[in-house]
Structure formats: structure tokens, C-alpha cells
Structure 1
Amino acid sequence: MEQQQVKQRIEEIIDDNLIGILSTVENNKPYARYMTFLNKEMTLYTPTSKKTYKTDEIEKNSNVHVLLGYQGEGFGDEYVEVTGKAVIRDDQELIDSLWFDDMNNWFEGKNDPNLVFIEVKPESVRLMNGRGEEPQSLDL
């Protein structure tokens, strides 16, 4: 598969699967949780509260792993694997640009003082499980 095809398929999976798994590391142990992800030019963003364990974990160790896709259909059910560095972003301009109304279920509006976004800058992105194909890596 050519790089443009790999990139297109990865973007389709990311855009069609907002819910994914974010894994962090604390004391050399992995911790995973389901999160909602937004994609802006292959940078992932997920909203959270600054009062969570994951924000503390990321501040200590910025290495993260994200899985998006996989619908449980079995063999050939593609998904995307992202390894990257995360930072906590609290700038209001970014929050305003990423805000969507369903976030009112967790936050008191986009001016909630605890609302932050975890920004994941990919170091590697792989398309996985494509009907017997080898994993396809995206050149970044």
C-alpha cells in the first residue's frame, strides 16, 4: 500500500472512531482508559479534567499509546496504533476550537477551569489488521 493510501485509511479510521484507548505510564506500569479523540492534521486531542491521574502521569512521563478503530468484527477489523508524546494544553483558543456540546456532560462549559486537552503528537502511526496484510507504517 502506498503512503498516500495508508494516510487516507488512517485518517478515515481516526475520524470515524472518536472513542479510543489512551495508555500512559506510572511507576513503570501501563494504565489505559477510554477517551474521546479529535484529530487535527494527525495530532490527536482528548478532553479531560486537570484533576485526573492521567494528567499527573503525562506530566511525569509524556510517552503515550493510543488505539482507535477495531469494531469487534474479527479478522480484518482495522485499527490505528499511535505512539507519541503528550502535553497538557489549557489555552482557551484551543479549547474554543475543539469544544463540542456533548462535553457539557463532563464540564461546566468551555470556560470550566478544570477543562484541559491532552495533545498527542505522533512519533509513529501504524495501520493494523488489514485482512491478512502486514501492519502499514505511516511516514511522518
Structure 2
Amino acid sequence: MTDSQNREKLWKLIKEVRFSMISHTTETQEIHSQPMTMLNSKQMDEHQNLYFILRDSNDLVNAIESGRNHIGLSFAKPSDDIYVSISAHAQISTDPSLIDELWNPWAENWFKGKDDPSVRVLVARAISAEYWNVTDNKITHLFKVVKGSITGKTDEPDADHQKMNL
């Protein structure tokens, strides 16, 4: 595949998953992860930035505003054998037009509306990524596992696997 095709495949995979574990470094240099929902939509058609709404008191906001803005994002959908890891630089935005564009009914559960002064947008600018997408169907994959355990010879599943700089 070309770089452009790999990039398109990456964005298709993460848009199918949408739920991410975002990791950052704490003040004590520990790695902390938390689940968040990616808000990129079909209308935005972003190919570099990922967007998340969060509260100003979230640990990620503190980390990013303290200069610890290198984050990791992990996406997984085991039922479809989709796994993605993204390294990104993050920034926090309070841009009302961006908040308006990303706002959705789920956000209403966490805030007092889009004008709530605690609303922040995490903008994660992807710098590199790696994805794995097993293309074997479930039966073929299971057969390879069983065959490997009987014969002692492992047979890797057919998968799209790609590392890329973005």
C-alpha cells in the first residue's frame, strides 16, 4: 500500500473504534491512562488531529498545560481484530467554534451545556502510528491457533500491519 492508502486505512480503523485509552506522564513520571471517546466526525474528515471533550479539572489538562504534552492513544476492537497505537502532541483548546462543532448529546451528560466554563477540547496531533488489522476470518484464525497447538508450529494470522510517521 502507498503512504496515502495506509493513512486512509488508519483513519478508517480508528473511526470504527472511537473509544481510546489515552496515556500521559504524571508529575511523578508515572504513566497514567484513561478512557475517552474520540469525537472526530465524518463532517470533520481530519487526517492528523483527534478531538476529545473533557473537563478543565481532568488530569490530562494539567499534564498538557504543565508541558507534558506527549501522549499515547490506543484503540482496540477485539471483535473485529482492530488494534491501533498513536503517538501525539496534545494541546488544550477553549475555542467556542470547535466546542460547538464537537458538541453532542453525550456531552450534555457531563456538562451544563456547551457554554459551561469547564469545557475543554483535547486536540491530539498525531505524529506517528501503528496498526494491526487481522484479515483472516474468525474460523481461519481459530484453525491456525488450533493447528499451531497440535503441531507446535505457529502460523501467524494474515493481517494488515503498518507503522507510519504522520
State the TM-score bracket (shorter-chain normalisation).
Answer: 0.7 to 0.9
User: Could you state the TM-score of these two structures normalised by the residue count of structure 2?
Assistant: 0.75
* Mapped contact 1:48–1:117 kept (Cα < 8 A): yes
- For residues 127 and 86 of structure 2, the distance between their equivalents in structure 1, rounded to whole angstroms, comes to 8
What are the residue-to-residue correspondences of 1:15-94 with 2, within 5 Å? 15-26=15-26, 27-39=28-40, 40-60=46-66, 61-68=68-75, 70-73=76-79, 77-94=81-98
* Mapped contact 2:73–2:87 kept (Cα < 8 A): yes
Question: Structure 1 residues 139 and 51, CA, compared in 2 at 3 Å: closer, same or farther?
Answer: closer
Count, aligned residues? 137
1:107 is aligned to: 111
**Shift in Å at residue 43 of structure 1?**
0.5
Instruction: Give the unaligned 5+ runs of structure 1.
Output: none
1:98 is aligned to: 102
**Shift in Å at residue 81 of structure 1?**
1.1
The one-letter code of the counterpart of 2:70 is N
1:120 is aligned to: 124
**Shift in Å at residue 38 of structure 1?**
2.2
Instruction: Give the unaligned 5+ runs of structure 2.
Output: 41-45, 135-156
**Shift in Å at residue 83 of structure 1?**
0.3
- For residues 139 and 129 of structure 1, the distance between their equivalents in structure 2, rounded to whole angstroms, comes to 18
- For residues 49 and 82 of structure 2, the distance between their equivalents in structure 1, rounded to whole angstroms, comes to 20
**Shift in Å at residue 103 of structure 1?**
0.7
User: Which of 1 and 2 has higher RCO (CA within 8 Å, sep 6+)?
Assistant: 1
Could you list the runs of 4 or more consecutive aligned residues of structure 1 that deviate by over 4 angstroms after TM superposition? 131-134
User: Could you state the TM-score of these two structures normalised by the residue count of structure 1?
Assistant: 0.87
Give the SS at the match of 1:15.
Answer: helix
* Mapped contact 2:21–2:35 kept (Cα < 8 A): yes
More helix by share: 2
Percentage identity across paired residues of the two chains: 25
**Shift in Å at residue 128 of structure 1?**
2.4
**Shift in Å at residue 78 of structure 1?**
2.1
Bigger radius of gyration? 2
**What value does the CA root-mean-square deviation take over the aligned residues?**
1.8
- For residues 109 and 9 of structure 1, the distance between their equivalents in structure 2, rounded to whole angstroms, comes to 34
